[in-house]
Structure 1
Amino acid sequence: MSVLGKYSIGILLTFMLLAAVMLYIFPIVSIITGTKGITSNNFLLSRIVIWIVLGVVFLYNLFIEKQPFLLKEEKKYSIGFYIKAVISLYLICAIGGAFLNVIIRISTHEQTSNKLLQLVSIFKNDYFLIIFTCFTAGAVEELLMRGYMQPRIEKIYNSPIAGVIISAIVFGILHSTYGTIGQIVVPFFIGAVFAMFYKLYSNIKILIICHFMFDFVSLMIMNFTEIKHLSAFLTL
Protein backbone atom coordinates (compact mmCIF):
# COMPACT_ATOMS: atom_id res chain seq x y z
CA MET A 1 0.00 0.00 0.00
CA SER A 2 1.24 3.49 -0.87
CA VAL A 3 2.04 6.08 1.77
CA LEU A 4 -0.96 8.16 0.68
CA GLY A 5 -3.18 5.09 1.05
CA LYS A 6 -1.92 4.61 4.59
CA TYR A 7 -2.58 8.29 5.28
CA SER A 8 -6.16 7.89 4.02
CA ILE A 9 -6.78 4.91 6.31
CA GLY A 10 -5.23 6.79 9.23
CA ILE A 11 -7.51 9.78 8.67
CA LEU A 12 -10.57 7.51 8.40
CA LEU A 13 -9.51 5.62 11.53
CA THR A 14 -9.11 8.88 13.46
CA PHE A 15 -12.50 10.19 12.37
CA MET A 16 -14.33 6.92 13.11
CA LEU A 17 -12.77 6.52 16.56
CA LEU A 18 -13.53 10.12 17.57
CA ALA A 19 -17.06 9.92 16.15
CA ALA A 20 -17.68 6.66 18.05
CA VAL A 21 -16.48 8.28 21.27
CA MET A 22 -18.71 11.33 20.76
CA LEU A 23 -21.76 9.19 19.95
CA TYR A 24 -21.49 6.17 22.23
CA ILE A 25 -19.05 6.79 25.06
CA PHE A 26 -21.55 7.95 27.69
CA PRO A 27 -23.98 5.01 27.27
CA ILE A 28 -21.05 2.57 27.35
CA VAL A 29 -19.44 4.19 30.41
CA SER A 30 -22.83 4.24 32.16
CA ILE A 31 -23.20 0.49 31.58
CA ILE A 32 -19.68 -0.17 32.87
CA THR A 33 -20.03 2.00 35.98
CA GLY A 34 -23.70 1.26 36.60
CA THR A 35 -24.37 4.99 36.90
CA LYS A 36 -27.08 6.50 34.74
CA GLY A 37 -26.69 9.87 33.10
CA ILE A 38 -23.67 12.11 32.76
CA THR A 39 -21.77 12.35 36.04
CA SER A 40 -18.35 13.81 36.77
CA ASN A 41 -16.84 10.31 37.07
CA ASN A 42 -18.42 9.16 33.81
CA PHE A 43 -17.24 12.28 32.04
CA LEU A 44 -13.71 11.84 33.40
CA LEU A 45 -13.65 8.27 32.06
CA SER A 46 -14.85 9.52 28.67
CA ARG A 47 -11.90 11.95 28.51
CA ILE A 48 -9.50 9.11 29.34
CA VAL A 49 -10.97 7.17 26.40
CA ILE A 50 -10.14 10.14 24.14
CA TRP A 51 -6.50 9.84 25.23
CA ILE A 52 -6.70 6.15 24.31
CA VAL A 53 -7.87 7.18 20.82
CA LEU A 54 -4.76 9.34 20.51
CA GLY A 55 -2.69 6.34 21.58
CA VAL A 56 -4.29 4.09 18.96
CA VAL A 57 -3.64 6.62 16.19
CA PHE A 58 -0.07 7.05 17.42
CA LEU A 59 0.48 3.28 17.25
CA TYR A 60 -1.02 3.16 13.74
CA ASN A 61 1.37 5.91 12.72
CA LEU A 62 4.34 4.19 14.36
CA PHE A 63 3.82 0.67 13.01
CA ILE A 64 1.83 1.14 9.77
CA GLU A 65 2.66 4.57 8.37
CA LYS A 66 6.19 4.57 9.78
CA GLN A 67 6.32 8.34 9.28
CA PRO A 68 6.69 11.22 11.76
CA PHE A 69 3.41 11.77 13.63
CA LEU A 70 3.72 15.50 12.94
CA LEU A 71 4.58 15.69 9.25
CA LYS A 72 5.15 19.43 9.56
CA GLU A 73 8.35 20.24 11.43
CA GLU A 74 7.67 22.36 14.51
CA LYS A 75 9.00 25.90 14.16
CA LYS A 76 10.47 27.66 17.18
CA TYR A 77 9.34 31.11 18.24
CA SER A 78 10.07 33.56 21.04
CA ILE A 79 7.99 33.78 24.21
CA GLY A 80 6.69 37.12 22.96
CA PHE A 81 5.40 35.50 19.77
CA TYR A 82 3.69 32.76 21.80
CA ILE A 83 1.89 35.36 23.93
CA LYS A 84 0.82 37.49 20.95
CA ALA A 85 -0.28 34.44 18.95
CA VAL A 86 -2.37 32.96 21.78
CA ILE A 87 -4.06 36.30 22.53
CA SER A 88 -4.72 37.00 18.84
CA LEU A 89 -6.14 33.53 18.17
CA TYR A 90 -8.28 33.71 21.30
CA LEU A 91 -9.78 37.07 20.33
CA ILE A 92 -10.39 36.06 16.72
CA CYS A 93 -12.15 32.86 17.78
CA ALA A 94 -14.11 34.51 20.61
CA ILE A 95 -15.30 37.50 18.58
CA GLY A 96 -15.92 35.52 15.40
CA GLY A 97 -17.65 32.71 17.31
CA ALA A 98 -19.86 35.21 19.16
CA PHE A 99 -20.85 36.89 15.91
CA LEU A 100 -21.73 33.58 14.25
CA ASN A 101 -23.64 32.44 17.33
CA VAL A 102 -25.73 35.64 17.34
CA ILE A 103 -26.49 35.27 13.62
CA ILE A 104 -27.56 31.65 14.09
CA ARG A 105 -29.75 32.45 17.11
CA ILE A 106 -31.46 35.33 15.30
CA SER A 107 -32.04 33.42 12.08
CA THR A 108 -33.04 30.05 13.56
CA HIS A 109 -34.17 30.94 17.13
CA GLU A 110 -31.91 28.10 18.24
CA GLN A 111 -31.49 27.50 21.97
CA THR A 112 -28.32 26.44 23.78
CA SER A 113 -27.62 22.71 23.57
CA ASN A 114 -29.28 20.86 26.47
CA LYS A 115 -26.45 18.34 26.40
CA LEU A 116 -23.85 21.08 26.83
CA LEU A 117 -25.84 22.68 29.65
CA GLN A 118 -26.00 19.31 31.38
CA LEU A 119 -22.25 18.92 30.97
CA VAL A 120 -21.58 22.39 32.35
CA SER A 121 -23.39 21.50 35.59
CA ILE A 122 -20.95 18.68 36.40
CA PHE A 123 -17.99 21.08 36.35
CA LYS A 124 -19.27 23.20 39.23
CA ASN A 125 -16.30 23.74 41.58
CA ASP A 126 -14.58 20.60 40.22
CA TYR A 127 -11.33 22.27 39.19
CA PHE A 128 -9.45 19.05 38.49
CA LEU A 129 -12.16 17.99 36.02
CA ILE A 130 -12.16 21.44 34.41
CA ILE A 131 -8.38 21.45 33.92
CA PHE A 132 -8.19 17.81 32.78
CA THR A 133 -11.08 18.27 30.34
CA CYS A 134 -9.67 21.46 28.84
CA PHE A 135 -6.18 19.96 28.56
CA THR A 136 -7.62 16.84 26.92
CA ALA A 137 -9.57 18.93 24.39
CA GLY A 138 -6.59 21.16 23.69
CA ALA A 139 -3.91 18.48 23.42
CA VAL A 140 -5.76 15.55 21.84
CA GLU A 141 -7.95 17.50 19.42
CA GLU A 142 -5.10 19.68 18.19
CA LEU A 143 -2.66 16.79 17.84
CA LEU A 144 -5.23 14.75 15.89
CA MET A 145 -7.07 17.44 13.90
CA ARG A 146 -4.29 19.86 13.04
CA GLY A 147 -1.09 17.92 13.79
CA TYR A 148 -2.09 14.55 12.32
CA MET A 149 -4.99 14.95 9.88
CA GLN A 150 -4.42 18.34 8.28
CA PRO A 151 -0.95 17.71 6.76
CA ARG A 152 -2.00 14.26 5.52
CA ILE A 153 -5.12 15.64 3.84
CA GLU A 154 -2.92 18.30 2.27
CA LYS A 155 -0.59 15.65 0.85
CA ILE A 156 -3.42 13.40 -0.39
CA TYR A 157 -5.06 16.24 -2.35
CA ASN A 158 -1.83 18.16 -2.95
CA SER A 159 -3.63 21.25 -1.71
CA PRO A 160 -3.03 23.34 1.43
CA ILE A 161 -6.57 24.71 1.15
CA ALA A 162 -8.01 21.18 1.18
CA GLY A 163 -6.07 20.46 4.37
CA VAL A 164 -7.50 23.55 6.05
CA ILE A 165 -11.10 23.18 4.89
CA ILE A 166 -11.53 19.42 5.27
CA SER A 167 -9.92 19.29 8.73
CA ALA A 168 -12.19 22.18 9.82
CA ILE A 169 -15.27 20.40 8.43
CA VAL A 170 -14.33 17.22 10.30
CA PHE A 171 -13.84 19.28 13.48
CA GLY A 172 -17.30 20.77 13.08
CA ILE A 173 -18.96 17.43 12.31
CA LEU A 174 -17.44 15.82 15.40
CA HIS A 175 -19.14 18.47 17.56
CA SER A 176 -22.53 17.93 15.89
CA THR A 177 -23.45 15.39 18.58
CA TYR A 178 -24.28 18.34 20.85
CA GLY A 179 -27.38 18.75 18.71
CA THR A 180 -27.29 22.36 17.53
CA ILE A 181 -26.30 24.18 14.36
CA GLY A 182 -24.15 26.53 16.42
CA GLN A 183 -22.11 23.60 17.71
CA ILE A 184 -21.22 22.75 14.12
CA VAL A 185 -20.66 26.21 12.68
CA VAL A 186 -18.65 27.72 15.56
CA PRO A 187 -16.26 24.73 15.88
CA PHE A 188 -15.89 24.76 12.07
CA PHE A 189 -14.91 28.44 12.24
CA ILE A 190 -12.46 27.83 15.10
CA GLY A 191 -11.07 24.79 13.29
CA ALA A 192 -10.52 26.85 10.12
CA VAL A 193 -8.75 29.62 12.07
CA PHE A 194 -6.52 27.12 13.85
CA ALA A 195 -5.82 25.22 10.62
CA MET A 196 -4.79 28.43 8.83
CA PHE A 197 -2.48 29.30 11.71
CA TYR A 198 -0.93 25.83 11.64
CA LYS A 199 -0.41 26.07 7.89
CA LEU A 200 1.29 29.44 8.20
CA TYR A 201 3.31 29.00 11.40
CA SER A 202 3.74 25.22 11.93
CA ASN A 203 3.50 25.27 15.71
CA ILE A 204 1.07 22.86 17.37
CA LYS A 205 2.01 23.93 20.91
CA ILE A 206 0.53 27.40 20.43
CA LEU A 207 -2.74 25.85 19.24
CA ILE A 208 -2.84 23.47 22.22
CA ILE A 209 -2.36 26.39 24.62
CA CYS A 210 -4.98 28.53 22.89
CA HIS A 211 -7.52 25.69 22.68
CA PHE A 212 -7.00 24.97 26.36
CA MET A 213 -7.42 28.64 27.28
CA PHE A 214 -10.53 29.03 25.12
CA ASP A 215 -12.38 26.24 26.92
CA PHE A 216 -10.85 26.94 30.34
CA VAL A 217 -11.88 30.61 30.43
CA SER A 218 -15.45 29.76 29.33
CA LEU A 219 -15.82 27.00 31.96
CA MET A 220 -14.35 29.13 34.73
CA ILE A 221 -16.67 32.05 33.94
CA MET A 222 -19.65 29.68 33.95
CA ASN A 223 -18.39 28.16 37.20
CA PHE A 224 -18.69 31.50 39.01
CA THR A 225 -21.59 33.08 37.12
CA GLU A 226 -24.91 32.11 35.57
CA ILE A 227 -23.82 33.00 32.03
CA LYS A 228 -24.75 29.59 30.61
CA HIS A 229 -24.84 30.66 26.96
CA LEU A 230 -21.03 30.62 26.97
CA SER A 231 -21.37 26.84 26.64
CA ALA A 232 -22.02 27.51 22.95
CA PHE A 233 -18.31 28.34 22.60
CA LEU A 234 -16.99 25.14 24.20
CA THR A 235 -15.05 22.77 21.93
CA LEU A 236 -14.81 19.83 24.35
Structure 2
Amino acid sequence: MMSLYGKYAMGILFSFVLLAAVMLYSFPLIYCITGIKGLTSAYLFYSRIILWVVLALVFLYNLFIEKNSFLLWKEKQYSVMFYLKAVIILYLICAFGGSFLNFIIQVFTHENVSRKLVRIASLLKNNYFLIVSICLTAGIVEELLMRGYIQPRIEKIYNNPYPGIFISAVLFGILHSTYGTLGQVLVPFFIGTVFAVFYKKYSNIKILIICHFMYDFVSMMIMNFIDIKHLSAF
Protein backbone atom coordinates (compact mmCIF):
# COMPACT_ATOMS: atom_id res chain seq x y z
CA MET A 1 0.00 0.00 0.00
CA MET A 2 1.08 3.58 -0.67
CA SER A 3 2.44 5.36 2.40
CA LEU A 4 0.70 8.44 3.76
CA TYR A 5 3.55 10.63 2.48
CA GLY A 6 3.18 9.00 -0.92
CA LYS A 7 -0.51 9.90 -0.85
CA TYR A 8 0.42 13.45 0.09
CA ALA A 9 2.83 13.64 -2.85
CA MET A 10 0.18 12.29 -5.23
CA GLY A 11 -2.35 14.75 -3.82
CA ILE A 12 0.00 17.69 -4.37
CA LEU A 13 0.67 16.55 -7.95
CA PHE A 14 -3.04 15.91 -8.52
CA SER A 15 -3.96 19.40 -7.27
CA PHE A 16 -1.33 21.22 -9.30
CA VAL A 17 -2.02 19.28 -12.51
CA LEU A 18 -5.75 20.01 -12.20
CA LEU A 19 -5.12 23.71 -11.61
CA ALA A 20 -2.62 23.89 -14.48
CA ALA A 21 -5.08 22.07 -16.76
CA VAL A 22 -7.77 24.62 -15.91
CA MET A 23 -5.39 27.48 -16.70
CA LEU A 24 -4.24 25.93 -19.99
CA TYR A 25 -7.24 24.02 -21.32
CA SER A 26 -10.38 25.65 -19.93
CA PHE A 27 -11.05 27.37 -23.27
CA PRO A 28 -11.65 24.17 -25.27
CA LEU A 29 -13.45 22.49 -22.36
CA ILE A 30 -15.90 25.37 -21.91
CA TYR A 31 -16.37 25.58 -25.68
CA CYS A 32 -17.24 21.87 -25.87
CA ILE A 33 -19.77 22.20 -23.03
CA THR A 34 -21.32 25.60 -23.75
CA GLY A 35 -20.26 26.60 -27.26
CA ILE A 36 -18.73 29.81 -25.95
CA LYS A 37 -15.77 30.99 -28.02
CA GLY A 38 -13.02 33.32 -26.86
CA LEU A 39 -12.48 35.30 -23.69
CA THR A 40 -15.92 36.57 -22.66
CA SER A 41 -17.62 37.38 -19.36
CA ALA A 42 -19.53 34.09 -19.62
CA TYR A 43 -16.25 32.24 -20.08
CA LEU A 44 -14.79 33.90 -16.99
CA PHE A 45 -17.82 32.85 -14.95
CA TYR A 46 -17.73 29.23 -16.13
CA SER A 47 -13.98 29.03 -15.58
CA ARG A 48 -14.59 29.96 -11.93
CA ILE A 49 -17.08 27.11 -11.65
CA ILE A 50 -14.40 24.74 -12.95
CA LEU A 51 -12.06 25.91 -10.19
CA TRP A 52 -14.71 25.01 -7.60
CA VAL A 53 -14.93 21.57 -9.23
CA VAL A 54 -11.15 21.22 -8.83
CA LEU A 55 -11.46 22.05 -5.14
CA ALA A 56 -14.23 19.46 -4.78
CA LEU A 57 -12.10 16.80 -6.49
CA VAL A 58 -9.17 17.49 -4.16
CA PHE A 59 -11.54 17.29 -1.19
CA LEU A 60 -12.73 13.89 -2.45
CA TYR A 61 -9.13 12.72 -2.90
CA ASN A 62 -8.39 13.77 0.65
CA LEU A 63 -11.54 12.10 1.97
CA PHE A 64 -11.25 8.74 0.22
CA ILE A 65 -7.50 8.34 -0.46
CA GLU A 66 -5.66 10.23 2.26
CA LYS A 67 -8.44 9.71 4.82
CA ASN A 68 -7.04 12.57 6.86
CA SER A 69 -7.95 16.13 7.76
CA PHE A 70 -7.95 18.44 4.73
CA LEU A 71 -6.26 21.15 6.79
CA LEU A 72 -3.36 19.35 8.44
CA TRP A 73 -2.72 22.37 10.64
CA LYS A 74 -5.49 22.98 13.13
CA GLU A 75 -7.01 26.43 12.75
CA LYS A 76 -5.96 28.79 15.51
CA GLN A 77 -8.55 31.20 16.83
CA TYR A 78 -7.88 34.90 17.29
CA SER A 79 -9.73 38.01 18.36
CA VAL A 80 -11.65 40.20 15.92
CA MET A 81 -9.02 42.91 16.40
CA PHE A 82 -6.26 40.47 15.40
CA TYR A 83 -8.22 39.60 12.24
CA LEU A 84 -8.55 43.27 11.34
CA LYS A 85 -4.89 44.08 11.95
CA ALA A 86 -3.64 40.94 10.20
CA VAL A 87 -5.76 41.52 7.07
CA ILE A 88 -4.75 45.19 6.84
CA ILE A 89 -1.04 44.51 7.39
CA LEU A 90 -0.97 41.60 4.94
CA TYR A 91 -2.81 43.67 2.36
CA LEU A 92 -0.40 46.59 2.69
CA ILE A 93 2.65 44.30 2.46
CA CYS A 94 1.30 42.64 -0.68
CA ALA A 95 0.09 45.88 -2.29
CA PHE A 96 3.22 47.94 -1.70
CA GLY A 97 5.62 45.02 -2.12
CA GLY A 98 3.92 43.94 -5.34
CA SER A 99 3.91 47.49 -6.71
CA PHE A 100 7.60 47.94 -5.90
CA LEU A 101 8.44 44.62 -7.55
CA ASN A 102 6.47 45.62 -10.64
CA PHE A 103 8.30 48.95 -10.69
CA ILE A 104 11.67 47.16 -10.65
CA ILE A 105 10.54 44.85 -13.45
CA GLN A 106 9.38 47.84 -15.50
CA VAL A 107 12.72 49.63 -15.02
CA PHE A 108 14.82 46.67 -16.14
CA THR A 109 12.59 45.01 -18.75
CA HIS A 110 10.17 47.73 -19.97
CA GLU A 111 7.54 45.01 -19.95
CA ASN A 112 4.16 45.82 -21.43
CA VAL A 113 0.91 45.30 -19.54
CA SER A 114 -0.53 41.82 -20.02
CA ARG A 115 -2.91 41.80 -23.00
CA LYS A 116 -4.98 39.15 -21.31
CA LEU A 117 -5.31 41.31 -18.20
CA VAL A 118 -6.36 44.31 -20.31
CA ARG A 119 -9.02 42.16 -21.99
CA ILE A 120 -10.27 40.84 -18.64
CA ALA A 121 -10.41 44.39 -17.27
CA SER A 122 -12.67 45.42 -20.15
CA LEU A 123 -14.98 42.45 -19.47
CA LEU A 124 -15.20 43.31 -15.78
CA LYS A 125 -16.20 46.92 -16.43
CA ASN A 126 -19.20 47.58 -14.16
CA ASN A 127 -19.90 43.82 -13.95
CA TYR A 128 -19.90 43.69 -10.16
CA PHE A 129 -21.40 40.21 -9.91
CA LEU A 130 -18.53 38.81 -11.98
CA ILE A 131 -15.95 40.81 -10.01
CA VAL A 132 -17.23 39.44 -6.70
CA SER A 133 -17.50 35.86 -8.01
CA ILE A 134 -13.92 35.96 -9.35
CA CYS A 135 -12.56 37.42 -6.11
CA LEU A 136 -14.45 34.93 -3.92
CA THR A 137 -13.27 32.01 -6.04
CA ALA A 138 -9.65 33.16 -5.96
CA GLY A 139 -9.72 33.82 -2.24
CA ILE A 140 -11.36 30.57 -1.21
CA VAL A 141 -10.19 28.04 -3.80
CA GLU A 142 -6.59 29.24 -4.19
CA GLU A 143 -5.98 29.64 -0.47
CA LEU A 144 -7.53 26.30 0.48
CA LEU A 145 -5.49 24.51 -2.18
CA MET A 146 -2.15 26.37 -2.21
CA ARG A 147 -1.80 27.18 1.47
CA GLY A 148 -4.32 24.96 3.25
CA TYR A 149 -3.69 21.76 1.28
CA ILE A 150 -0.34 21.87 -0.55
CA GLN A 151 1.95 23.79 1.82
CA PRO A 152 1.53 21.61 4.95
CA ARG A 153 1.89 18.40 2.94
CA ILE A 154 5.15 19.55 1.36
CA GLU A 155 6.39 20.40 4.85
CA LYS A 156 5.41 16.92 6.08
CA ILE A 157 7.19 15.22 3.18
CA TYR A 158 10.46 17.14 3.72
CA ASN A 159 10.06 17.52 7.48
CA ASN A 160 11.05 21.14 6.97
CA PRO A 161 8.87 24.28 6.77
CA TYR A 162 11.00 26.07 4.17
CA PRO A 163 10.27 23.77 1.19
CA GLY A 164 6.56 24.11 2.01
CA ILE A 165 6.79 27.89 1.91
CA PHE A 166 9.03 28.10 -1.17
CA ILE A 167 7.49 25.39 -3.35
CA SER A 168 3.90 26.48 -2.69
CA ALA A 169 4.87 30.06 -3.58
CA VAL A 170 6.61 28.90 -6.78
CA LEU A 171 3.56 26.87 -7.81
CA PHE A 172 1.34 29.89 -7.06
CA GLY A 173 3.51 32.03 -9.34
CA ILE A 174 3.55 29.44 -12.12
CA LEU A 175 -0.24 29.22 -12.10
CA HIS A 176 -0.41 32.92 -13.00
CA SER A 177 2.01 32.57 -15.92
CA THR A 178 -0.87 32.35 -18.41
CA TYR A 179 -1.11 36.15 -18.23
CA GLY A 180 2.09 36.16 -20.25
CA THR A 181 4.24 38.63 -18.31
CA LEU A 182 7.11 38.32 -15.87
CA GLY A 183 5.35 40.59 -13.39
CA GLN A 184 2.31 38.31 -13.32
CA VAL A 185 4.58 35.48 -12.15
CA LEU A 186 6.94 37.25 -9.75
CA VAL A 187 4.28 39.28 -7.94
CA PRO A 188 2.10 36.21 -7.20
CA PHE A 189 5.29 34.41 -6.10
CA PHE A 190 6.00 37.28 -3.69
CA ILE A 191 2.41 37.28 -2.40
CA GLY A 192 2.45 33.49 -2.15
CA THR A 193 5.61 33.67 -0.04
CA VAL A 194 4.10 36.29 2.29
CA PHE A 195 0.91 34.26 2.69
CA ALA A 196 2.82 31.01 3.22
CA VAL A 197 5.00 32.53 5.95
CA PHE A 198 1.91 33.95 7.65
CA TYR A 199 0.09 30.60 7.44
CA LYS A 200 3.06 28.77 8.92
CA LYS A 201 3.31 31.20 11.80
CA TYR A 202 -0.37 31.79 12.60
CA SER A 203 -2.17 28.76 11.10
CA ASN A 204 -5.34 30.61 10.11
CA ILE A 205 -6.58 30.12 6.57
CA LYS A 206 -9.61 32.39 7.05
CA ILE A 207 -7.43 35.49 7.39
CA LEU A 208 -5.66 34.61 4.14
CA ILE A 209 -8.97 34.04 2.35
CA ILE A 210 -10.25 37.44 3.48
CA CYS A 211 -7.01 39.20 2.54
CA HIS A 212 -6.79 37.47 -0.85
CA PHE A 213 -10.38 38.46 -1.60
CA MET A 214 -9.74 42.04 -0.52
CA TYR A 215 -6.51 42.32 -2.55
CA ASP A 216 -8.19 41.10 -5.74
CA PHE A 217 -11.39 43.07 -5.13
CA VAL A 218 -9.59 46.39 -4.59
CA SER A 219 -7.40 45.75 -7.64
CA MET A 220 -10.39 44.96 -9.84
CA MET A 221 -12.36 47.94 -8.59
CA ILE A 222 -9.43 50.21 -9.40
CA MET A 223 -9.26 48.65 -12.87
CA ASN A 224 -13.00 49.22 -13.15
CA PHE A 225 -12.62 52.99 -12.80
CA ILE A 226 -9.16 53.65 -14.26
CA ASP A 227 -7.75 52.64 -17.64
CA ILE A 228 -5.48 49.67 -16.86
CA LYS A 229 -3.10 50.68 -19.64
CA HIS A 230 -1.99 53.51 -17.40
CA LEU A 231 -1.51 51.29 -14.36
CA SER A 232 1.81 49.48 -14.70
CA ALA A 233 1.42 48.27 -11.09
CA PHE A 234 -1.08 45.71 -12.34
Paired AA for residue 135 in structure 1: L
| TM-score for both structures, normalised by structure 2 | 0.97
Who is 1:98 aligned against?
99
Secondary structure class of the residue paired with 2:70: coil
Question: Do the aligned residues in 2 keep the contact of 1:175 with 1:187 (CA within 8 Å)?
Answer: yes
Report what 1:44 is aligned to. 45
Q: Compute the displacement of 1:131 (Å).
A: 0.4
TM superposition outliers: structure 1 runs of 4+ over 3 Å: 227-233
Aligned length: 233
Q: How does 1:1-236 map to 2 (within 5 A)?
A: 1-228=2-229, 233=234
In structure 2, the gaps of 5 or more residues are none
Unaligned runs of at least 5 residues, structure 1: none
Q: Secondary structure at the match of 1:75?
A: coil
Q: Could you tell which deviates more after superposition, 222-231 or 58-67? A: 222-231
CA distance in 1, matches of 2:57, 2:231: 32
Contact (CA 8 Å) 2:121, 2:228: kept in 1 or not? no
Segment of structure 1 superposing worse, 19-28 or 205-214:
19-28
Change (3 A) 1:125 1:222: same
Contact 1:6 1:64 in 2 (8 A): yes
Of 223-232 and 137-146, more deviation after overlay is shown by 223-232
The root-mean-square deviation of aligned C-alpha atoms, in Å, is 1.2
Structure 1: how far apart are the matches of 2:28 and 2:99? 32
- Residues 22-72 of structure 1 deviation map (CA, whole Å, 9 limit, x = unaligned): 011023213432232111111100000000000000000000000000000
How many Å separate the matches in 2 of 1:35 and 1:108? 36
User: What secondary structure does 1:74 align onto?
Assistant: coil
TM-score (norm 1): 0.96
Counterpart amino acid of residue 146 in structure 1: R
The SS at the match of 1:137 is: helix
Answer yes or no: is the 8 Å Cα contact 2:55–2:141 preserved in 1: yes
Q: Distance in 2 between matches of 1:160 and 1:186?
A: 22
Kept in 2, the 8 Å contact 1:10–1:61? The answer is yes
Identity %: 69
